[in-house]
Amino acid sequence: MSDFISLSPSGLAKDFDIENFGEKPIVSVEEKKDSISINYIFPGFTVGDNEQQVGDEAMPFKEVGISGAGFVSVSGRPLLPSLGRFVQIPPGCDYKVSTKKNRPVKIDDLLVTPAQENATDQADESGEFEFDRQAYQRDALYPKNIVEVGEEQNLDGYKVLPIHVCPLQYNAAKRQLVGYSNIEVTIELTQKEEDDAELNEFGFGDPESNLEGFGNLVLNPNRRIVERIPIARVPSGFVLKPRGPEFLIIYDDGLKDAALRLARWKNRKGLQTDTVPISTVGNTVAKIKSYIRKQRGFLLSRLRYVLLFGDVNSIRAEEVGGNTTDHYYFTKNDPSGSNDCLLPWVSGGRIPVSSLSDADSVVTQIIDFERNPPADPDYYLRMTFAAFFQDDYPQDGRADRAYMKTMESIRSHMVSQGFSVERVYVSSNPNPQKYKDGSNVPAAVKAAIMDGGDATNLLLSDTSEGQLVIGHRDHGGDSGWSHPSYTTGHLPSIVGHMPSIFYSINCLTGRFDNTTSDSFAEDLLERRGGAPSLIAATEVSGTWRNDSLIKALFDALWPGVIPTFPGSTASYAIKNHRLGDVLNYGKSYLLVAHGVNSGVKAHFEIYHVVGDPTLQLYTERPRTLVIKAEILRKKLYLRLNTLPKGTVLTVIHRGRVVKRSALGSTRMNLPVSELLLSTARPSTLRDYIEVCVSAPGFRYTRTRVKL
């Protein structure tokens, strides 16, 4: 059990009940013309027993935590809570940050547990307990600063500062915690000299800009702050019109037919898509980066998604610190230091195939998933969570890793949203008692733990049936999951053809640099009834960061897994529901949950969308759009039964897109003369136009209209 220790906060409402509210922070933001003030109230923190054997000594460590917070986490040093979030600042502004804090509360005789940053999810890795004796002998406060401000970033269109507030500092030599209940951070703003490059990057304050996607991670997510951008800087008569494709496919020349087929489909769906062969780009890391960054960087570029269509032999991947990665193809620049964590400014992915037949198989799965989603209504309520209760020597009934507790915390939220989430759990201890944080394992979870062989068979059965999402937390390797065991050797036993989206959050299951054999992710991608696309790691990954990542992947589409703060952060799903954006959201959360460090940088580099980054996911049973279209008096008249947010109209004549438009009304009419190819000649053959409509959460719909 954990005990609550109050920090005696001020500024709370008279009827505020600390015991019922707990230790969850209270955050408020006040925006003024020349400043942003953030007030943090920390009611208290929890302390739980975490005794560990260090050499020959049993040490009575205490685990310190705050609900909704991340951690200051350096291997072997005291693990302390830290509340990180992004703060939006106006483009075109310089800033200066200052802090205030109240008088401290001191708590004596606490031996704070050390961070276990080096623990990984590599197959059957247990690892040694990390304890930095020298750090625990220092007579100084750690961390040195209670507020850390990172470098400004482009977060899905927001200009943001990552700000971490650590209300607890620790003097390890004295075993004394120093806590602050009230902390104020003020960001003073001053207008820069003209910086058109920055204004271009953030859209010149375009009123059509949709800054909602990553708002759950931003303390001030509303758009009012963007309205401060000095529009007067835009040259007189300048038309703010986006240019270029939204989706770029760079393909291996030998896979041209499959790449063009995928592009044709995406264009039909209203996603403006272009293709280019790698022979045109140039098959070096530098040339690929240069090409993508140039396309993304020109004035008012539409580009937001990039797909590398080919394996590493045909489209080179980068090697960074021993990691194979495509991450920096999708960032604005390269890192300048070992801890430089760069968020992507496009969403990227790779289809790592070498043969045209495999490429066709993958493209068919993607198109089928988007054009003909499963008709079974129960499919959209089904999920499967697989996890391991790891209790190594000495087996004391308490988990050594947070795998199962992590999946249970996500499962509780998903069940509250109406989903049926099957547990596929296994344990190294037949009598599990406590999770890693010391809380009790519920009876229902104990009852769900099964034999390894039964768990594998259930995973095969669930995959064959088709699940909206299948998630996994445990160890992994190239060939698949360790516990429960689910590997490339099992996948041929999948008998159904229903798709499942996999969040394979472990080590190495997404590896695509081994050209002699397929990894688990590659096999799933190419197999009918596998995954039309998925998220997985190419290299060895860290346990702590994986737990945070998988929470964020679910929060991206079903907000509420990650805590929000009333009056500041919002709770809504990312726009468009595309898989590449889901991964970018997860990477962004790592920055606020763990701060800037080499482990987070490595996670940015090793996690990829194996497949199509624009794959549109379903969060519920897709609804139906009904189109009525007819030509009267040389005009095309359209009527829709409803107008969901993000509805896009595409008109096709003789196989080519002649009109693409975001719809603002359920009714519209267009001159037929504008919907014909300029080269079209009168024909005695039957001629027609295709009217296609798509929207997030709705089935793709099309109709033909005779000319």
392/499 same-domain check: yes
591/679 same-domain check: no
Q: What is the CA radius of gyration of the chain?
A: 26
Do residues 163 and 146 lie in contact, with contact meaning Cβ atoms separated by under 8 Å?
no
In a domain, 86, yes or no: yes
**pLDDT-based confidence at 285, cuts 50/70/90?**
very high
61/189 same-domain check: yes
Q: Which pLDDT belongs to residue 414? A: 97
From 186-190, 522-526, 565-569, 588-592, the region with the lowest mean pLDDT: 565-569
Q: Which pLDDT belongs to residue 206? A: 45
Q: Which pLDDT belongs to residue 231? A: 46
Tens of pLDDT along 7-19? Answer: 989 888 777 777 6
In a domain, 313, yes or no: no
Cis? peptide before 696, omega within 30° of 0: no
Other CB atoms within a 10 A radius of the CB of residue 109 amount to 10
- Give me the CATH number covering residue 545: 3.40.50.1460
Q: Which pLDDT belongs to residue 67? A: 87
In a domain, 620, yes or no: no
Q: Which H/E stretch holds residue 553? A: helix 543-555
Count of structural domains, the chain: 3
564/686 same-domain check: no
The per-residue pLDDT of the chain, averaged, comes to 91
456/531 same-domain check: yes
Using DSSP, state whether 357 is helix, strand or coil.
helix
Asked if pLDDT for residue 515 goes beyond 90, the answer is no
Asked if pLDDT for residue 290 goes beyond 80, the answer is yes
Q: Which pLDDT belongs to residue 55? A: 86
Do residues 155 and 218 lie in contact, with contact meaning Cβ atoms separated by under 8 Å?
yes
Q: Which pLDDT belongs to residue 339? A: 82
537/676 same-domain check: no
Tens of pLDDT along 69-125? Answer: 999 989 999 999 999 999 999 888 889 999 999 999 999 999 999 999 989 998 877
In a domain, 465, yes or no: yes
Q: Which pLDDT belongs to residue 416? A: 96
556/638 same-domain check: no
In a domain, 643, yes or no: yes
- Give me the CATH number covering residue 179: 2.60.40.3800
49 Cβ contact list (under 8 Å, min separation 6): 60, 61, 62, 63, 438
Kindly state the average pLDDT of the residues 555-569: 80
Provide, rounded to the nearest whole percent, the portion of the chain with pLDDT above 90: 73
Last residue of a domain, one of 233, 253, 281: 233
In a domain, 275, yes or no: no
Strand partners, 505: 473
539/633 same-domain check: no
From 243-252, 293-302, 378-387, the region with the lowest mean pLDDT: 293-302
Cα–Cα–Cα angle for 615, 620, 625, nearest 5°?
A: 80
596/640 same-domain check: no
**pLDDT-based confidence at 207, cuts 50/70/90?**
very low
24/161 same-domain check: yes
Q: What's the burial of 5, exposed, middle or buried (CB within 10 Å: 0-12/13-18/19+)?
A: middle
Give the residue, 682 or 318, on which the prediction is more confident: 318
Q: Which pLDDT belongs to residue 227? A: 59
Q: Which pLDDT belongs to residue 239? A: 57
499/416 same-domain check: yes
- Distance separating alpha carbons of residues 640 and 622, to the nearest angstrom: 16
Give the residue, 48 or 470, on which the prediction is more confident: 470
Kindly state the average pLDDT of the residues 161-189: 96
- Distance separating alpha carbons of residues 288 and 294, to the nearest angstrom: 10
Question: Where in the sequence is the domain holding 163, given as residue range(s)?
Answer: 2-233
Cα 141 to chain centroid, rounded:
34
Tens of pLDDT along 630-657? Answer: 999 899 999 999 999 889 999 999 889 9
Identify the top-confidence range among 28-42, 224-238, 371-385. 371-385
Strands 347-351 and 305-309: parallel
In a domain, 605, yes or no: yes
90 Cβ contact list (under 8 Å, min separation 6): 159, 189, 225, 226, 228, 229
Last residue of a domain, one of 178, 204, 233: 233
Tens of pLDDT along 358-370? Answer: 999 999 999 999 9
Asked if pLDDT for residue 196 goes beyond 80, the answer is no
**pLDDT-based confidence at 516, cuts 50/70/90?**
confident
In a domain, 191, yes or no: yes
Using DSSP, state whether 576 is helix, strand or coil.
helix
572/643 same-domain check: no
> What angle do the packed helices 256-268 and 356-371 form, to 10 degrees?
10
Provide, rounded to the nearest whole percent, the portion of the chain with pLDDT above 70: 92
Q: Which two tokens stand for residue 149?
A: 């401000």
**pLDDT-based confidence at 63, cuts 50/70/90?**
very high
Last residue of a domain, one of 176, 205, 233: 233
